[in-house]
């Protein structure tokens, strides 16, 4: 089987065995691009591809591209539930995640209740930035590798 993967502005054409899994493709790409497997997300259409699923299960059209996204780590802080101290979390994200997706990840991975009035304050060298628009990409709020975001109630 042959697949084409786009990363940045470069397209990589890869020949694979028919039983290749997503994680095997990530390993190949990781060696080629010096990008750790855990920092890769592969998207095909609207689907985030799952590591241990065979590529054949996605019925990939040979004329379409698989998108490789480079994941990076960001950090969150929130008051602890007892009001004494601060809880800290981390998430792996990509620059095109929407603010709403961050809130959903906080809910799924860390149990935060998602409310419309939940505000995320991005700690920036230029002062705080309030990420209030759920439909904007996180890079528009200067959320990059290592960014600390404070969760406000």
Listed by start position, the domains of the chain span: 2-70, 72-152
Alpha carbon of 140 to those of 45, 54, 98, 102: distances in Å? Answer: 23, 35, 10, 14
Average pLDDT per consecutive 10 residues, the chain (153 residues; last block may be shorter): 96 95 98 96 96 97 96 92 86 95 92 81 91 94 94 83
State residue 51 phi and psi, 5-degree precision.
Answer: -50, -50
Alpha carbon of 115 to those of 103, 104, 122, 134: distances in Å? Answer: 9, 10, 18, 11
Q: Give me the pLDDT at residue 147, please.
A: 95
Q: Give me the pLDDT at residue 114, please.
A: 79
Is 44:35 a contact under the CB 8 Å cutoff?
A: no
Q: How many other C-beta atoms can be found within 10 angstroms of the C-beta atom of residue 15? A: 9
Starting at the edge strand that comes first in sequence, how are the strands of the sheet with 65-70 ordered?
A: 10-15, 2-7, 65-70, 40-44, 47-48
Q: Give me the pLDDT at residue 88, please.
A: 92
Q: Which CATH architecture has domain 72-152?
A: Roll (3.10)
Strands 2-7 and 10-15: antiparallel
Q: Give me the pLDDT at residue 118, please.
A: 83
Q: What is the pLDDT of residues 2-12, one digit of tens each?
A: 999 999 999 99
Quick check: do 2-70 and 72-152 share a fold? yes
> Domain 2-70, what fold?
Ubiquitin-like (UB roll) (3.10.20)
Q: Give me the pLDDT at residue 116, please.
A: 67
Taking the C-alpha atoms of residue 151 and residue 153, their distance in angstroms, rounded to an integer, is 7
Pick from 68, 49, 138: which is nearest to 101 by CA? 138
């Amino acid at each position: 089987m042959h697949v084409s993967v786009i990363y940045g502005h470069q397209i990589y054409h890869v020949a694979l065995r028919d039983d290749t899994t997503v994680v095997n493709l990530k390993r190949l790409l990781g060696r080629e691009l010096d990008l750790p497997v855990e920092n890769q997300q592969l998207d095909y259409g609207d689907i985030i591809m799952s590591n241990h699923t065979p590529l054949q299960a996605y019925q990939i059209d040979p004329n379409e591209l698989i998108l490789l996204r480079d994941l990076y780590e960001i950090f969150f802080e929130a008051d602890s539930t007892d009001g004494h101290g601060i809880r800290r979390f981390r998430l792996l994200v990509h620059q095109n995640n929407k603010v709403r997706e961050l809130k959903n990840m906080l809910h799924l991975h860390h149990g935060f209740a998602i409310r419309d009035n939940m505000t995320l304050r991005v700690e920036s060298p230029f002062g705080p930035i309030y990420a209030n628009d759920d439909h904007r990409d996180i890079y528009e709020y200067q959320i990059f590798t290592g960014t600390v975001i404070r969760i406000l109630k």
